[in-house]
Amino acid sequence: MRALTGREREVAAELAQGHFNAEIAAYLFMTEATFKAHVFRVMAKYGGASRVQVALTARDAGLA
């Protein structure tokens, strides 16, 4: 697993808390499209096939 950037860690942590895409994007001051791009990169780095897998991995890693 490759290291996450600071912004990717923020996105993963919010995913782990179960928030909706639009809520997370607004909270992190980014567009929903930018948020989804970050999610895609986190999924690629974590080897996750879904946002649920990313959320669980982030939670297990202590990001949430």
pTM over 0.75: yes
46 CA to centre of own chain: 10
What's the number of domains the chain is made of? Answer: 1
| Residue 19: domain span | 6-60
Does residue 28 lie within any of the structural domains?
yes
Rg value, the chain, Cα: 10
Does residue 1 lie within any of the structural domains?
no
* Residue 37 Cα distances to 22, 33, 44, angstroms: 13, 6, 11
Does residue 22 lie within any of the structural domains?
yes
Does residue 18 lie within any of the structural domains?
yes
Does residue 15 lie within any of the structural domains?
yes
Q: What is the CATH number of the domain that holds 34?
A: 1.10.10.10
**How many Å apart are CA 64 and CA 60, to the nearest integer?**
8
Residues 1-25 have pLDDT tens digits of 578 899 999 999 998 998 899 999 9
17 CA to centre of own chain: 10
